[in-house]
Structure formats: C-alpha cells, structure tokens
C-alpha cells in the first residue's frame, strides 16, 4: 500500500562509473550519452539512461527495500502480456544495492493529463485503467498476504480492523486528536464484519494504483489522416476507418512501480485510484467501474462504501509519514470517511 508523500531517503547521486560498475554486463558495451535522475518516485533511485543508439532504459536501485527487487521482477513477469508494464531487461537482487534495468515506456503520467483533457477523454482514460486493473486481478492466490520473490505468500494479511486500530497509534493519534480517533474506532467496530467479507480475497493487488504510476498516451496524433496511420491510402479498408475514429484518443501506456504488490482485496486498488474522485470529472468513477466489469472483473454491490472504508487504513498509514503540509489534507479525508461510513 502507499506509504508516504515525501521521499523516505535522500536521492543518491551516482556517477557514470557507478552505472557501469552495476550494469556493465547488462549494457553489453552500449554507450550512455545521458543519464537523467527521475526524482518523482519517493523511495528508490531511478535513472533514465539514453544510449547513442537512441534507445533508453530505466536503471532502478532498490535503496528502500532491497527485497523488492526480486519481488517486483517476478510480478512484472507475471503481468507481461496482460497489461502494459515495463519489461525487465536485467536484474541483480544480490548487488548492493539491488538493481534492475527496465524497459523505458513512452507516455505521460495520468495525473499530469487529467486536468488538461475534457470529460470524454477523462472517461476514456478511466475506462482504460479499469480494464487493465481487471486483467491484473485475474491473477489469484490461495490466501491473502505479502509476497516473496517467488510470488508466494510469506506473511498473512492482517485483518482490516486490526490493521486500522494499530495504525492509530503514536503520531497518527496525535495528528487526528482524541475526538476523531474515537470516531475512527467506532467506524471500525461497526463496519468490521462488512469489510471482512471482502478483505480475505486474494488477487494480485498493485497496491499503489495511483495516477502518478499510470502512463498514458494518445493512440494516434490528433487530426492525423487515416492514410498516415495505416500506411495505406485512406478509405481502403476497415482498419483505416477504425484508425480515423480513434485519432486523438488517449489510452494506457504503462503501469509502473509494482514494489508494493501483494495478494489481497481488489478494492485496495480501487481505493487508491479513486481517492481523488471528487476532483475528477463527473462520470470518471462510473466509467472506471463499468470498464472493470466489462473486462471480466466483479465487484460487490456496495463497492463504493467498502472502498472508502478500506482506504481508511491507507490514509492512516500515509498520515504517519506525511509532512505537515500533507497532514491536514489527509486528516480531512479521514474525517470525511468516518462521517460517511
């Protein structure tokens, strides 16, 4: 699940010698002409390496959780062909720190696009994300829990009620105050049974399925002629007409950052993706849910309410680590969640 809104560790600057020391065998003599730190992530060190050939890769150092290297590589192998996600080109889980070379995917983060497109495009993007999530959730496990490097459950998932109450301790309790903490405890007590009915589900959960981890792109340049798209004179066949219809539409280009992936309740991903629903165009969540179901996913009838309750755990975990600037917004979300429970 999402852990923080601030970088947990300082970004470590690496020299060209460091890149080659870690990746010399994998790069097979390719000449790096540029190395750009990717600072948007909050936990690991990521670089974009551009080669003289014009190709690019992501060099990812697992400085926050070394064990995530092998686990993320295994998850990416499991979802290959199901959803657009980076291919693992090389990995060394025994290095210090562990690293992976990942395919570079062209696209723009969804959160950078949503505020600049109209409601129809926003619904298209929501639908693309919903369909992709249904395909992720097709992967099932015998029980819910946290995964090891071979994608076996190595630690059971704690009960939702237990986890929420544990998350209330310490800094979170201080930030919420006694009155709101009491309301959270009351909400947990009155809803524990309902959440338990779905919490034991064990599908592959991305656990950080948020807009900044989702890359999108236009299928075809807006205004492009069908002939330019299909490589043939316009109007010759159905492919041309379909390409013309899709010109300018947005689609999902990549799902990134799988290090928190686990076996768990599908609504964990719903909660993260729809947390900012209030700032999205009308119909965004409905388009997401409809596409999820159309792609084979199934949801409980009261999925909206259960999703908000499940997100309460994530909000409290975020509140424990967030800086003071983000804490106020998180406290407001907690208050709204228990008020509507």
Torsion-angle region of residue 85: left (phi > 0), alpha (psi -120 to 50) or beta?
Answer: beta
For residue 224, the model assigns a pLDDT of 44
Is residue 227 scored above 50 in pLDDT?
no
- When pLDDT is cut at 50, 70 and 90, the band that residue 6 belongs to is very low
Which pLDDT does position 32 carry in this prediction? 83
The pLDDT of residue 239 is above 60: no
Q: Is the pLDDT of residue 5 over 50?
A: no
For residue 173, the surrounding DSSP H or E stretch is: helix 171-199
List, in order, residues 6 or more apart from 144 with CB less than 8 Å away: 153, 156, 157, 199, 200, 201, 202, 262, 263, 264, 265
pLDDT value at 230 more than 80: no
Mean pLDDT of the chain: 87
SS3 for 202-267 is CEEECCCCCHHHEEEEECCCCCCCHHHHHCCCCCCCHHHHHHHHHCCCEEEEEECCCCCCEEECCH
Give yes or no for a contact between 338 and 312, defined as CB atoms under 8 angstroms apart. Answer: yes
pLDDT per position as a tens digit, 296-310? 999 999 999 999 999
At 2, the pLDDT band (50, 70, 90 cuts) reads very low
CB-based contact 292:286 (threshold 8 Å): no
DSSP 8-state assignment for residue 63: -
Point out the least confidently predicted range of 43-47, 59-63, 307-311.
43-47
Q: Could you give the domains of the chain?
A: 17-103 (3.30.200.20), 108-339 (3.90.1200.10)
Residue 115: how many CB atoms within 10 A of its CB?
Answer: 10
CB 27 within 8 A of CB 47: no
For the chain, percent of residues with pLDDT exceeding 70: 84
DSSP calls for 261-309:
-EEE-THHHHHHHTTTGGGSPTTHHHHHHHHHHHTT----TTHHHHHHH
What is the tens place of the pLDDT at every residue in 79-104? 999 999 999 999 999 988 899 999 99
pLDDT band at 4 (very low <50, low <70, confident <90, very high): very low
> What mean pLDDT is predicted for residues 144-162?
97
User: Would you place residue 341 in the very low, low, confident or very high pLDDT band (cuts 50, 70, 90)?
Assistant: confident
Question: How far apart are the C-alpha atoms of 242 and 224, rounded to whole Å?
Answer: 12
pLDDT per residue as tens digits for the range 278-296: 888 889 999 999 999 999 9
Beta carbons of 256 and 209 less than 8 angstroms apart:
no
In this predicted model, what pLDDT tens digit does every residue of 163-181 receive, in sequence order?
Answer: 999 999 899 999 999 999 9
Question: pLDDT higher for 308 or 33?
Answer: 308
The confidence score (pLDDT) of residue 237 equals: 52
Peptide bond between residue 97 and the one before it cis (omega within 30 degrees of 0): yes
Q: Distance of alpha carbon 124 from its chain centroid, rounded? A: 18
Supply the pLDDT for residue 249: 83
> What is the structure's pLDDT at 1?
40
Q: Does 105 have pLDDT greater than 80?
A: yes
Q: What's the pTM value of the predicted model, to 2 decimals?
A: 0.87
Q: pLDDT digit string (tens) for 195-223?
A: 999 999 999 999 999 999 999 999 865 44
DSSP letter for each residue of 117-145: S-HHHHHHHHHHHHHHHHHHTT-B-SS-E
């Amino acid at each position: 699940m999402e852990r923080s809104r601030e970088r947990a560790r300082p970004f470590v600057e690496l020299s060209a010698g460091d890149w080659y020391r870690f990746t010399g065998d994998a790069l097979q003599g390719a000449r790096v002409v540029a190395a750009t730190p990717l600072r948007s992530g909050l936990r690991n060190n990521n670089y974009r390496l551009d080669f003289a050939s014009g190709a690019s890769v992501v060099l990812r150092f697992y400085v926050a959780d070394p064990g995530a290297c092998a686990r993320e590589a295994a998850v990416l192998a499991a979802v290959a062909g199901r959803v657009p996600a980076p291919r693992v080109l090389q990995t060394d889980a025994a290095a210090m720190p562990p690293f992976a070379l990942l395919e570079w995917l062209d696209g723009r983060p969804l959160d950078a696009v949503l505020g600049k497109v109209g409601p129809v495009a926003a619904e298209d993007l929501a639908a693309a994300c919903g369909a992709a999530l249904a395909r992720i959730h097709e992967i099932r496990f015998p029980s819910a829990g946290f995964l090891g490097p071979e994608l076996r459950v190595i630690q059971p998932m704690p009960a939702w009620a237990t986890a929420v109450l544990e998350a209330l301790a310490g800094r979170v309790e201080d930030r919420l105050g006694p009155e709101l903490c009491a309301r959270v405890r009351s909400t947990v007590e009155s809803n524990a049974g309902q959440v338990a009915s779905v919490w034991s589900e064990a599908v592959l959960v991305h656990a950080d399925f948020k807009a900044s981890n989702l890359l999108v792109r236009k299928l075809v340049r807006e205004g492009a002629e069908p002939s330019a798209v299909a490589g043939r004179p316009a109007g010759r066949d159905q492919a041309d007409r379909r390409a013309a219809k899709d010109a300018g539409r947005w689609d999902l280009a990549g799902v990134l950052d799988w290090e928190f992936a686990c076996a768990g309740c599908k609504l964990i991903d719903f909660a993260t993706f729809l947390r900012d629903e209030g700032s999205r165009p009308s119909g965004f969540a409905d388009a997401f849910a409809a596409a999820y179901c159309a792609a084979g996913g199934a949801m409980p009838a009261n999925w909206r309410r259960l999703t908000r309750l499940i997100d309460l755990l994530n909000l409290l975990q975020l509140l424990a680590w967030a800086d003071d600037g983000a804490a106020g917004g998180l406290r407001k979300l907690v208050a709204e969640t228990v008020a509507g429970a």
